[in-house]
Amino acid sequence: MKKNQLSENTAKKIDLWLHSDIDAESKFLIKDMIANDPEGAEEAFYKDLKFGTGGMRGIMGVGSNRMNIYTVGMATQGLSDYVKSQIKVKQPKAVIAYDCRNNSKLFAETTAKILSANGLKVYLFDKLRPTPELSFAIRHLGCHCGVMITASHNPKEYNGYKVYWEDGGQIISPHDEGIIEKVKAIRTPDKINFDTHSKLIHSVGEEVDKAYMKKLSELSLSPDAIKAHHNMPIVYTPLHGTGVHLVPEYLKTLGFTNIIHVPEQDVSDGNFPTVESPNPEESAAFDMAMEKAKNTNAELVMGTDPDGDRVGVIVRKNDGAYHFLNGNQTASILYYYVLCNLKQNGNSPKNGFTVKTIVTSELLAEISESFDVKSYDTLTGFKYIAAKIRECEGEEKFIIGGEESYGYLAADFVRDKDAVMSCGLIAEAAAWARSKNKTLYDILVEIYLKYGFYKEELVSIKKEGKSGEEAIKRMMGNLRDKSPESIDGVQVTMVNDFLKQQAVDKISDLRYDITLPKSNVLQFLMSDGTKISIRPSGTEPKIKFYVSVRTTLDNINEIELKDKELDERIDVILKSLIKS
């Protein structure tokens, strides 16, 4: 592709940027791309980086389709305009935090400057902090909104911008649509107000840490178990991210005295030099932590993602082997531990409830109901769990929530998934298990024996470009229009179409309204307890298949055989659906 082969839309957008007030270095980089990398220029400018329902995320670099101070600035200008249109106080307030990624501090400072230029009082964290502390700080500081600069577990080339509202949860309707419209109205960098009012920007740090840590310390359910097993070896890694200080500090506050670090990964570094991907869902991210665990005979290994909202867990079994828990398994252990101990301590709330997403294991609902606790379902995304907490506030008491993608929350003073809180509860659950001469893996088996053996798998199929988008639409359309009557000889009993907001009973042919908001998700429920959920990704060119199967488990000696049977069942289901 040569200069004169740039699309008309791209050429116009580049011209707007070159004739705007952006800095000289950015203009030089744009001109250099046009001359030497026209394909790169096309990719960087063919569209605007999308500000979606939760914010935006993208590759860093110059261009309208990249994360840089100008795209961050346009998003912040739109956010400022929306906040001032909705919050009828003399001076709205905002708080900003950022993670370890390259340019995160720069983007956070840029956000603070523009919010202040628009008359907002801004609290800016003095150094990197985890997402859940940002959520906590919004209400603690009495703010009307918050911004977290992070791209979660994405590769090092990415960064992102997540927006929170005054309840501490990520934005949902109507605020998400309102902010999107305001951001769309900012067409060029010239529309950004960069006239910073530095007196409106206030640095915060240790005082918020202390308040957050105080609330966390009140969650302990088994102090006697911790006291008895305080020296239990625990390996923890922040994977170069924000958990580096708060997670070890919280574990020590609870009473644990044998926290084993991975020093190379305690270094905050947006290049993530020791891992291919800083994703705690992937076992490869734990290679260095597992070396430590094997050398120290650690009971437990935990790792948090760069912004400290998700945690991966590996537990040691009685035979010395290690088991990597998936997100549903960790959630099941946490639900069981919390609900058991609340009941045992006589602290179960009368109107308590739990929340999970529709793609998360039904085992969580079974555990909740066995303790006479109501279980709610929400759409995929922790922001919907936060919305349910807000909806029930004052009438019912939130106990715990979780999603299969390694995010959990067990208190309402935070309104997003919290890996700091989760690490403390997981470690405490391990000490509680040891007080019963068990491991966390034994507790998991105990759950399966009591409620049924559940197994889940997520498969994502990547479809790049325009043809990929069309292929995903076609797959969803085929499954929606011609939903299977059975899969591998097992009857489909219910089809939940969250886009049409309708559930169809395949046996009686009765239709029921789905009260959750519209979402492009299909769900098949089967006569043997299998649940299959299918949805396009909201942030990547992927279609996702979530499969949950179950069987009975009569004794622990059956677990390997039953595990293999469930794996085979999942494989057959996936092959049947993907060919559709």
- pLDDT tens for 366-380 read 999 999 999 999 999
What is the greatest pairwise CA distance in the chain?
A: 74
Range of the domain at 283: 218-450
Annotated active-site residue in 104, 152, 222, 422: 152
> Residue 250 — left, alpha, or beta (φ > 0 → left; ψ -120 to 50 → alpha)?
alpha
Q: Are residues 378 and 460 in the same domain?
A: no
Provide the whole-model pTM. Answer: 0.95
Q: Are residues 69 and 205 in the same domain?
A: yes
> Does the residue 28 lie in any domain?
no
Q: Are residues 294 and 430 in the same domain?
A: yes
CATH of the domain at 341: 3.40.120.10
DSSP class of residue 189 equals G
* Distances from the Cα of 458 to the Cα of 307, 413, 496, 533, 535, angstroms: 23, 31, 19, 9, 11
Q: Are residues 231 and 342 in the same domain?
A: yes
Do 74 and 191 form a contact (C-beta atoms < 8 A)? yes
Q: Are residues 469 and 435 in the same domain?
A: no
Q: Are residues 155 and 263 in the same domain?
A: no
CB-based contacts of 33: which residues, under 8 Å, 6+ apart?
Answer: 40, 41, 44, 62
- In the listed set 410, 430, 450, which residue is the last one of a domain according to the structure? 450
Residue 152 annotated among the catalytic residues of the structure:
yes
pLDDT of residue 4: 58
The domain tally of the chain equals 3
pLDDT of residue 75: 97
Segments in 187-286 forming alpha helices (H): 206-217, 223-228, 243-254, 263-266
Q: Are residues 67 and 150 in the same domain?
A: yes
- The secondary structure of 330-362 as a DSSP string is HHHHHHHHHHHHHHHTT---TTEEEEEETTS-T
- In the listed set 178, 209, 240, which residue is the last one of a domain according to the structure? 209
* Cross-strand partners of 316: 322
User: Interhelix angle for 419-435 vs 440-451, to 10°?
Assistant: 90
- In the listed set 419, 450, 481, which residue is the last one of a domain according to the structure? 450
pLDDT of residue 507: 93
pLDDT of residue 53: 79
> Does the residue 9 lie in any domain?
no
> Does the residue 519 lie in any domain?
yes
229: helix, coil or strand? coil
Q: Are residues 107 and 144 in the same domain?
A: yes
> Does the residue 27 lie in any domain?
no
pLDDT of residue 539: 64
Q: What is the mean pLDDT of each run of 10 residues along the chain (580 residues)?
A: 74 95 96 95 93 90 97 98 95 98 98 98 98 98 98 93 98 94 94 97 98 98 98 98 97 98 98 96 97 97 98 96 97 98 95 97 98 97 97 97 97 98 98 98 97 95 79 91 91 96 95 94 96 86 93 94 96 86
- The secondary structure of 133-160 as a DSSP string is HHHHHHHHTT-SEEEEE--TTS-TTEEE
Q: Are residues 464 and 484 in the same domain?
A: yes
Q: Are residues 339 and 471 in the same domain?
A: no
pLDDT of residue 517: 92
Q: Are residues 390 and 281 in the same domain?
A: yes
